[in-house]
């Protein structure tokens, strides 16, 4: 009885496999060729930061001109960079090269394909993925380097950042870092200022309203400070502060004096520039 595979006999199936392999080999050559062209247009620059600091405008134009998806061209370029011409294997498909592209021992590993049902030695995608996991686990540094390479384009990076921060555990760990938290707060302030500036340009009357509000806010802040000091000083005189408390308050008063001097300077000159020491003093209590 003849064993069928789908609608074909076993022999027909094997013949189709042989023909398809020849086609896959041709496709592999073409994908590597386009990847090499993309590398020629914009080589991958491996810097000390682990990023590919390439400029993607030319690659986007290249992808558009050949009618391919930009991310696909980036993948072909990355894989071509990972596999120098003399290390590419004609008996392994492009997919196998892509799967192994980030593996540190890929040049040795790809020369050791498993045996298939017909007794021939060749790679499958599943076998390649399994081999990578079996030989060694990709280090955290390698994974981070790969993510940085993928996110070197600002549009890609912003999309990835938004997706990562949508995961509560990651968002929590990010916000636990004071430096990162400060940068995020600064980005939020910058964004708010941009939105406000755009609104002012669309509606000039907003600027006049904001001017009045800022004046009143400044007056209120000054009156609150003066009133609070006048109210508290008699109480402090009656119940003097300990030495440690005096040192803490002394530092806060230094900040207050610096803020007052800075405020006078801005009002008199309109210049918001402050020296490094003053900026450090005023920013100590930032989130």
Structural domain total, the chain: 2
pLDDT score at 50: 44
* Domain of residue 107, residue span: 4-138
Same domain, 129 and 245: no
Rounded to the nearest integer, the mean pLDDT of the chain is 79
Nearest partner of 52 among 156, 139, 160, judged by Cα: 156
104 vs 83: CA distance, rounded Å: 11
pLDDT in tens, 45-98: 754 444 444 457 888 899 999 998 888 898 999 999 999 999 999 889 999 999
Distance CA 77, CA 221 (A): 58
9 and 121 both lie in a single domain: yes
Note whether 165 and 174 are within 8 A (CB): yes
Residue that finishes a domain, picked among 120, 138, 156 = 138
Residue 204 included in any domain: no
Among 83-97, 131-145, 158-172, 247-261, the least confident range: 131-145
Give the pLDDT confidence of 205-243 residue by residue, as tens digits.
555 556 667 777 888 888 888 888 888 888 888 888 888
For 234-267, what is each residue's pLDDT tens digit? 888 888 888 888 888 888 888 888 888 888 888 8
Point out the domain boundary residue: 109, 138, 167: 138
- Give residue 164's pLDDT: 78
Residue 96 lies in a domain: yes
Domain final position from 138, 173, 192 = 138
Give residue 84's pLDDT: 94
Q: Name the burial class of residue 24, with classes exposed (0-12), middle (13-18) and buried (19+) by CB atoms within 10 angstroms of its CB.
A: middle
Same domain, 124 and 8: yes
Is residue 152 included in any domain, yes or no?
A: no
Same domain, yes or no: 123 and 245: no
Q: For residue 38, what pLDDT band results from cuts at 50, 70 and 90?
A: very high
Q: What pLDDT was estimated at residue 136? A: 43
Q: Is residue 113 part of a domain?
A: yes
């Amino acid at each position: 009885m003849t064993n069928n595979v789908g609608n074909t006999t076993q022999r027909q199936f094997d013949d189709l496999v042989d023909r398809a392999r020849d086609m896959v080999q041709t496709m592999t050559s073409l994908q590597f060729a386009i990847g090499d062209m993309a590398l020629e247009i914009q080589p991958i620059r491996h810097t000390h930061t682990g990023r590919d600091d390439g400029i993607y405008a030319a690659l986007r134009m290249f992808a558009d001109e050949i009618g391919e998806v930009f991310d696909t061209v980036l993948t072909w370029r990355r894989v071509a960079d990972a596999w120098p011409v003399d290390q590419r294997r004609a008996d392994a498909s492009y997919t196998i090269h892509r799967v192994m592209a980030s593996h540190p021992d890929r040049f040795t590993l790809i020369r050791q394909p498993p045996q298939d049902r017909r007794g021939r030695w060749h790679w499958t995608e599943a076998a390649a993925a399994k081999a990578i996991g079996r030989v060694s686990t990709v280090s955290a540094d390698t994974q981070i380097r790969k993510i940085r390479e993928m996110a070197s384009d600002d549009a890609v990076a912003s999309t990835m950042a938004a997706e990562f921060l949508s995961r509560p555990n990651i968002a929590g760990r990010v916000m636990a870092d004071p430096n990162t938290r400060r940068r995020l707060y600064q980005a939020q302030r910058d964004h708010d200022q941009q939105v406000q500036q755009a609104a002012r340009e669309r509606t000039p009357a907003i600027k006049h309203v904001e001017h009045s509000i800022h004046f009143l806010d400044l007056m209120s802040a000054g009156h609150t400070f003066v009133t609070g000091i006048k109210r508290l000083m008699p109480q402090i005189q009656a119940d003097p502060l300990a030495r440690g408390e005096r040192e803490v308050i002394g530092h806060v008063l230094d900040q207050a004096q610096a803020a007052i001097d800075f405020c006078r300077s801005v009002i008199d000159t309109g210049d918001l520039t402050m020296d490094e020491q003053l900026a450090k003093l005023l920013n100590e209590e930032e989130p």
